[in-house]
A and B are shown apart, each in its own frame.
Chain A
Amino acid sequence: MESADREKSPGSTREAAAPVQLLTPDGRRVEHPEYSIDVSPEELRGLYRDMVLARRVDAEGVTLQRQGELALWPSLLGQEAAQVGSARAVLDGDHVFPSYRDHGVALCRGVDPLALLAMFRGVSNGGWDPEDHGFHLYTLVIGSQTLHATGYAMGMAKDGAHGAAVVYFGDGATSQGDVSEAFNFAAVYDAPVVFFCQNNQWAISEPTEKQSRVPLYRRADGFGLPGVRVDGNDVLACLAVTRAAMQRARCGQGPTLVEAFTYRMGAHTTSDDPTRYRDSAEVAHWAAKDPIARLRTHLLDTAHADQAFLDEVDHTADQAGQRLRALVRSMPAPDPHAIFDHVYADGHSLVDEERAQFARYEASFAETGGN
């Protein structure tokens, strides 16, 4: 375990407990003294379906960007279990604050992936109503959504709501002051929020050992909230740990930091080339821990699913991919003046002036058959 080993040098402050694991990389089910989970075969198949679909949507995003259809795409490859497992612990009445790589969470919350692709195509600024899905808009600024979630959770508590907030962020975000502020506020006010950190080992090109002297989950100690590290490639462990943390928050017992120990198999975004800063042996090491492969093995070994089911899931994912491809390519460009419609709900004289100025500017171009 290259990454884990780096943290276990003797006498360092980096020693970490073994992450919570319920499904081993070779697909065996194991028990954990604190976190047990009882999932039906149908639920297992559902988790598998979610992860395969998430991977397929993600692959479409990468392909469409390479074909020039999207400006950018941040790939989730390798993080399917962390996203799907945690997202399936979210109930109606909860509220999710995502980062920008959480396409699997969006899928589980019922957001049409087309809306995600539209945003990265640059034709919409978000494209879904957070209230409809309990799923906030993507946040591209690193870590600021932890404060949004904490404030939202504090508001939920004051309203006497029964839900909890969960916020997604990465290992890189933990170096942001916002995240420390959020930990502290949440702890002091017992805010019903779960901090779900996907530690994918790389903040673009910066490895986690250059970000923190202590394992990230142990940051929680200093703020006075519980922290737990979970095998981020184990969908069952992610589900169990997040479910417990959310339940704790909903019951007024305060926040939890969950560190999902996982790996970003792809590039940071389509603009990045990870071969420049990490070696292939590390990637191969993590490829052997693939989250989908281990659940597939488990399903087949336990006869909870057969090949026909796997084929049907693949076929469904292919269809979803083809639909996305066709729809993205035919997506119309937005009316350039529409941007002014989203500034004030009731209009504003200054915005009207700017709209008119922009219209004059646009009209100053000769039409030469361009856009």
Chain B
Amino acid sequence: MTVQRYRDFKMPDVGEGLTDAEIITWLVAPGDRVHDGMVVCEVESAKAAVELPIPFDGVVHALHFPAGASVDVGRPIISIDTAPDSAPDSDSGVAPDADADSGAAPAAVPAARRPVLVGYGSADEPSRRRHRKQHPAPDAPAPAAPSALPAHPLPQDHPLAKPPVRKLAKDLGVDLASVLPTGPDGVITRQDVHAVAAPAPAPAPAPAPVTAPAPVTAPAPVTAPAPVTASASGRETRLPVKGVRRATAQAMVASAFSAPHVTEFTTVDVTRTMNLAARLKQDPELAGVRVNPLLLVARALLVAIRRNPDVNAAWDEANQEIVLKHYVNLGIAAATPRGLIVPTIRDAHTLTLRQLADAMAELVTSARAGVTAPAAMSDGTVTITNIGVFGIDSGTPILNPGQAAILAVGAIKPRPWVHKGEVKPRQVMTLALSFDHRLVDGELGSKVLADVAALLEHPKRFLTWT
């Protein structure tokens, strides 16, 4: 075999069984001369950040991935022209890198390459994994449809089952060889054993055909409203998941299982804030404005964010960056006939108290009317959820995806409270702050929550802190 002119260096497994690594920096660029053993890039795997030495002499022909890319082990990351002083490729001439003993037409070589980030790279590597032939057991009876594997592989010489299932079969007196496996790769499941041990009195419906689950990224278009169906007995009703419910479910799952949540609680005496709100309602300058405790909670959160700006941020998983927002789009969770929606008040940090109050009133009105514009529901940076309107004291709110904090406002109730050394009835409320622990440490989260509480306990701090 002759030596190929263009050689690919593939992402190696730099640490015993890794599947990928991230390119941190390239130390060479196309056109640079390299030699065997020269470090060309730094990569970081789950285990270590290491330097990669190129195994060829020559000139860099192409880099196949930019810095920051995560690359599967085995993918070419850089191509080297190992005969840079030879004539360059041309469409008409004999390609100098045609593999002599491959017999490939010269034109096929450039055609096999694909445009990449810089220059031209090789075609995707064919999978090195060998494919199983269709009939692994040479002495197994030939299946009826020889062109395809049966949906459920026929029982093999040695039935496949995990030890607990084997024990179950033994306990029930079931011969595993007589069991039709339905598990992946022809493995007998617990249910399969039960099916043989105690056949259903009525013929069971045929097992659902094994089909690939629909990819979650492509939700099926809802062409007609799926009917609400009730079971024959009326004991269950099945509702199609769509619209706000679907969006809520996807957002909550995405958030709950990607952002590690921490929730902190504090209970605060808001009697002074209640008194202040009552006085503000009487203020002619705020005539016609809905002044309620939630408005002051929102105001307190904005002040707390100004004092602790790092909490107003987002985790960017794709780019592995923390995005600090220098503006506050305040989301207010609202229960509406269509379900929960979170309209946002844009640039809430710039608003006067009156503007904030107007915005909140407008937002609630349009949300209840179901006319919230989609744009008003996006780009929130932090959220308040008022569960107090339901009479609830507190909860552990789940973050809106892309936000680092959410404040749950509990119900304000008169409670016995130690005030100036004596137990007195006071207006008391519990606040709960959930935050994304990837970017918000306990200290920062605690400071934010403590600031909100301190402002509501002593609203004069709205003056001293701003």
Chain A residues within 8 Å of B, Cβ to Cβ: 63, 65-69, 71-72, 267, 270-273, 275-276, 325, 329, 360, 364-371
CA distance A192 to B130 in the complex (A): 53
Instruction: From B11, B53, B132, give the contact of A364 (CB < 8 A).
Output: B132
Instruction: Sample 16 A-B pairs with CB under 8 A, ordered by A number.
Output: A65-B12, A66-B52, A67-B9, A67-B52, A67-B55, A68-B11, A68-B12, A68-B13, A69-B55, A270-B14, A271-B15, A273-B47, A273-B48, A325-B37, A364-B136, A365-B133
Interface residues on B, range: 20 to 34
CB-defined contacts of B11 to chain A, threshold 8 Å: 68
CB-defined contacts of B138 to chain A, threshold 8 Å: 360
Q: Tell whether, in the assembled complex, residue A66 and residue B130 are in contact, meaning their CB atoms are under 8 Å apart.
A: no
CA distance A162 to B379 in the complex (A): 82
Tell me the chain B residues, 87-133 only, with Cβ under 8 Å from chain A. Answer: 126, 128-133
Q: Tell whether, in the assembled complex, residue A63 and residue B131 are in contact, meaning their CB atoms are under 8 Å apart.
A: no
Q: Tell whether, in the assembled complex, residue A267 and residue B48 are in contact, meaning their CB atoms are under 8 Å apart.
A: yes
CB-defined contacts of A325 to chain B, threshold 8 Å: 36-37
CB-defined contacts of B230 to chain A, threshold 8 Å: none
CB-defined contacts of B131 to chain A, threshold 8 Å: 365-366, 368
B51 at interface by CB-CB < 8 Å? yes
Most buried by B among A72, A270, A276, A366: A270
CB-defined contacts of B52 to chain A, threshold 8 Å: 66-67
Q: Tell whether, in the assembled complex, residue B133 and residue A66 are in contact, meaning their CB atoms are under 8 Å apart.
A: no
A119 to chain B minimum Cβ distance, whole angstroms, is 15
B413 at interface by CB-CB < 8 Å? no
Q: With A273-B47, A360-B138 as given contacts, are A66 and B53 in contact (CB-CB < 8 Å)? A: yes
Q: With A360-B138, A364-B136 as given contacts, are A270 and B130 in contact (CB-CB < 8 Å)? A: no
CB-defined contacts of B13 to chain A, threshold 8 Å: 68, 71
B418 at interface by CB-CB < 8 Å? no
**Nearest chain B residue, comparing its CB with the CB of A274:** B48
CB-defined contacts of A273 to chain B, threshold 8 Å: 47-50
Q: Tell whether, in the assembled complex, residue A68 and residue B133 are in contact, meaning their CB atoms are under 8 Å apart.
A: no
CA distance A329 to B56 in the complex (A): 12
Q: A67-B53, A364-B133 are in contact. List 4 more A-B contacts (CB 8 A).
A: A271-B15, A273-B48, A365-B131, A366-B130
B10 at interface by CB-CB < 8 Å? yes
Interface of A is mostly: loop
A355 to chain B minimum Cβ distance, whole angstroms, is 16
Instruction: From B47, B51, B126, B136, give the contact of A66 (CB < 8 A).
Output: B51
B196 to chain A minimum Cβ distance, whole angstroms, is 28
A-contact 0/1 string along B39-62, CB 8 Å cutoff: 000000001111111110000000
Interface of B is mostly: loop
CB-defined contacts of B48 to chain A, threshold 8 Å: 267, 271-273, 276
CB-defined contacts of A360 to chain B, threshold 8 Å: 138
A-contact 0/1 string along B1-26, CB 8 Å cutoff: 00000000111111110000000000
CB-defined contacts of A63 to chain B, threshold 8 Å: 37, 53
CA distance A68 to B9 in the complex (A): 9
A-contact 0/1 string along B48-80, CB 8 Å cutoff: 111111110000000000000000000000000
Q: Tell whether, in the assembled complex, residue A370 and residue B12 are in contact, meaning their CB atoms are under 8 Å apart.
A: no
Q: Tell whether, in the assembled complex, residue A66 and residue B128 are in contact, meaning their CB atoms are under 8 Å apart.
A: no
Q: Tell whether, in the assembled complex, residue B128 and residue A371 are in contact, meaning their CB atoms are under 8 Å apart.
A: yes
Q: Tell whether, in the assembled complex, residue B132 and residue A366 are in contact, meaning their CB atoms are under 8 Å apart.
A: yes
Instruction: From B15, B47, B129, give the contact of A370 (CB < 8 A).
Output: B129
The 8 closest A-B pairs by CB, nearest first: A68-B12, A273-B48, A271-B15, A365-B130, A67-B55, A364-B136, A370-B130, A366-B131
CB-defined contacts of A66 to chain B, threshold 8 Å: 12, 14, 50-53
CA distance A369 to B125 in the complex (A): 12
CA distance A71 to B73 in the complex (A): 13
Q: Tell whether, in the assembled complex, residue A65 and residue B132 are in contact, meaning their CB atoms are under 8 Å apart.
A: no
CA distance A69 to B56 in the complex (A): 13
A121 to chain B minimum Cβ distance, whole angstroms, is 12
CB-defined contacts of A69 to chain B, threshold 8 Å: 55
CA distance A276 to B44 in the complex (A): 12
CA distance A370 to B136 in the complex (A): 18
**Nearest chain B residue, comparing its CB with the CB of A72:** B16
**Nearest chain B residue, comparing its CB with the CB of A67:** B55
CA distance A275 to B51 in the complex (A): 13
CB-defined contacts of A68 to chain B, threshold 8 Å: 10-13
CB-defined contacts of A275 to chain B, threshold 8 Å: 49
**Nearest chain A residue, comparing its CB with the CB of B55:** A67
CB-defined contacts of A267 to chain B, threshold 8 Å: 48
CA distance A366 to B135 in the complex (A): 10
CA distance A65 to B45 in the complex (A): 14
CB-defined contacts of A271 to chain B, threshold 8 Å: 14-16, 47-48
CA distance A69 to B53 in the complex (A): 12
Q: Tell whether, in the assembled complex, residue A329 and residue B49 are in contact, meaning their CB atoms are under 8 Å apart.
A: no
CA distance A178 to B257 in the complex (A): 44
CA distance A180 to B365 in the complex (A): 78
CA distance A371 to B138 in the complex (A): 23
A365 to chain B minimum Cβ distance, whole angstroms, is 4
**Nearest chain B residue, comparing its CB with the CB of A367:** B130
Most buried by B among A66, A267, A365: A66
**Nearest chain B residue, comparing its CB with the CB of A62:** B53
Q: Tell whether, in the assembled complex, residue B132 and residue A365 are in contact, meaning their CB atoms are under 8 Å apart.
A: yes
A278 to chain B minimum Cβ distance, whole angstroms, is 13
A-contact 0/1 string along B377-397, CB 8 Å cutoff: 000000000000000000000
B51 to chain A minimum Cβ distance, whole angstroms, is 7
A123 to chain B minimum Cβ distance, whole angstroms, is 16
A160 to chain B minimum Cβ distance, whole angstroms, is 45
A56 to chain B minimum Cβ distance, whole angstroms, is 11
Q: Tell whether, in the assembled complex, residue B16 and residue A71 are in contact, meaning their CB atoms are under 8 Å apart.
A: yes
Most buried by A among B50, B51, B133, B138: B50
B44 to chain A minimum Cβ distance, whole angstroms, is 9
CA distance A368 to B129 in the complex (A): 9
